[in-house]
């Protein structure tokens, strides 16, 4: 689960049940957790043919369109199962990417003005041989010089380990193909890696935010930031921890990072608690840079359970076609847990408010 100024009939009981369930009992002591390997190896992938792209995914780039801000409907924007949403503005509308559900690997929706969606279609048409089929989740998309990169979480076949991989396409809608021979980012000593989210700063430098999945080893999970190479296919520099689990409402872990830059302040949205519980919510931290340090000015979630919106999470900032920063997130329509489903919601943040808000009211 980037952004600056600001980045069918489905089986509703999908593969998300299998791949998102986590074991309980992690340690609350960050000192017990080994640091991830600073850089990753670059998987062998097929580079797509470059084409003229229709939009930009760099969250710091303000769209040049004079399109007026779209009206955001109240309630669910898409009321079928669509966890971990990532929304992207294009010249002719919007694309939304979500966790695999049923037989659709990495769901993709289309909308002309955020007031209705068509789909879902399958965005990820080729998974790597080393991955468990149908276990892909938490997608995020980044535009690079020669195409588009879709980062996502996937389970390593024959294990309970989850790692980050990427797939490539020549256009933002895909189809995306992953020909890698190994995971892109998978610090085994820290439990693996999940929830990738790219962020592009005002100077054009790009970072990948992610969570080490320490809970699989009964260790603390943290949020991390690491610089991305310009082609989006390798990591550079050192992985920096930017957020720990420290507040009572967050336990047992923080996850799903997403960053935006507003009025000179880097804001980090993150989810915490158990994904299938009413206490799950979205927190907001203030950061000095994309690599931290980050502090928590609030001692409770800024987006929490409310009628028709239970256990909200997976918040991702994005920029609409008018240049306005919005946030996509999922929430259960009824009591959390399957066979229910997590619907797509769109919010209009007010980060200048005191305190800041992600959703009006």
pLDDT single digits (tens) 252-292? 999 999 999 999 999 999 999 999 999 999 999 999 999 99
Q: How far apart are CA 134 and CA 106, in angstroms?
A: 9
Is the pLDDT reported for residue 97 higher than 60? yes
* Average pLDDT over the chain, rounded to an integer: 85
Q: Taking a C-beta distance cutoff of 8 angstroms, is the pair 164, 151 a contact?
A: yes
pLDDT the model gives residue 66 = 64
pLDDT greater at residue 18 or residue 257: 257
pLDDT the model gives residue 60 = 38
Q: How far apart are CA 204 and CA 299, in angstroms?
A: 33
Per-residue pLDDT band for 35 (boundaries 50, 70, 90) equals low
Let me know if 176 is exposed, middle or buried by CB neighbors in 10 A (0-12, 13-18, 19+). buried
pLDDT single digits (tens) 129-175? 999 999 999 999 999 999 999 999 999 999 989 999 999 999 999 99
Q: Taking a C-beta distance cutoff of 8 angstroms, is the pair 14, 206 a contact?
A: no
pLDDT the model gives residue 36 = 58
Per-residue pLDDT band for 65 (boundaries 50, 70, 90) equals low
pLDDT greater at residue 184 or residue 33: 184
Q: Taking a C-beta distance cutoff of 8 angstroms, is the pair 104, 120 a contact?
A: yes
pLDDT the model gives residue 221 = 86
Per-residue pLDDT band for 309 (boundaries 50, 70, 90) equals very high
**What is the DSSP-derived secondary structure letter of residue 255?**
E
């Amino acid at each position: 689960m980037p952004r600056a100024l600001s980045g069918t009939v489905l089986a509703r009981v999908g593969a998300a049940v299998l791949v998102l369930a986590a074991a309980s009992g992690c340690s609350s002591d960050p000192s017990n957790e080994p640091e991830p390997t600073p850089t990753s190896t670059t998987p062998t992938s097929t580079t797509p043919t470059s084409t003229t792209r229709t939009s930009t995914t760099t969250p710091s780039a303000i769209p040049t369109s004079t399109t007026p801000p779209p009206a955001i409907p109240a309630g669910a924007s898409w009321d079928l199962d669509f966890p971990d949403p990532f929304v992207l503005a294009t010249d002719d509308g919007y694309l939304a990417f979500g966790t695999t559900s049923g037989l659709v690997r990495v769901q993709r929706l289309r909308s002309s003005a955020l007031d209705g969606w068509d789909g879902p279609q399958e965005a990820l048409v080729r998974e790597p041989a080393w991955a468990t089929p149908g276990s892909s989740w938490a997608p995020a998309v980044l535009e690079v010089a020669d195409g588009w990169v879709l980062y996502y979480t996937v389970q390593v076949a024959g294990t309970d380990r989850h790692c980050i991989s990427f797939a490539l396409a020549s256009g933002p809608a895909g189809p995306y193909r992953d020909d890698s021979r190994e995971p892109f980012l998978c610090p085994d000593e820290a439990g693996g890696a999940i929830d990738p989210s790219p962020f592009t700063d005002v100077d054009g430098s790009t970072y990948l935010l992610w969570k080490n999945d320490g809970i699989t080893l009964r260790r603390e999970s943290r949020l991390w930031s690491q610089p991305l190479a310009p082609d989006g296919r390798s990591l550079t520099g050192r992985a920096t921890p930017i957020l720990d689990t420290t507040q009572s409402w967050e336990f047992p872990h923080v996850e799903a990072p997403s960053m935006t830059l507003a009025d000179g302040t880097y804001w980090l949205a993150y989810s915490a608690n158990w994904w299938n519980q009413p206490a799950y919510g979205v927190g907001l931290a203030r950061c000095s840079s994309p690599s931290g340090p980050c502090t928590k000015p609030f001692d409770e979630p800024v987006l929490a359970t409310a009628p028709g919106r239970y256990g909200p999470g997976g918040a991702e900032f994005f920029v609409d076609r008018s240049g306005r920063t919005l946030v996509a997130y999922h929430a259960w329509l009824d009591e959390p847990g399957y066979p229910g489903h997590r619907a797509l919601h769109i919010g209009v943040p007010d980060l200048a408010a005191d305190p800041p808000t992600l959703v009006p009211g």
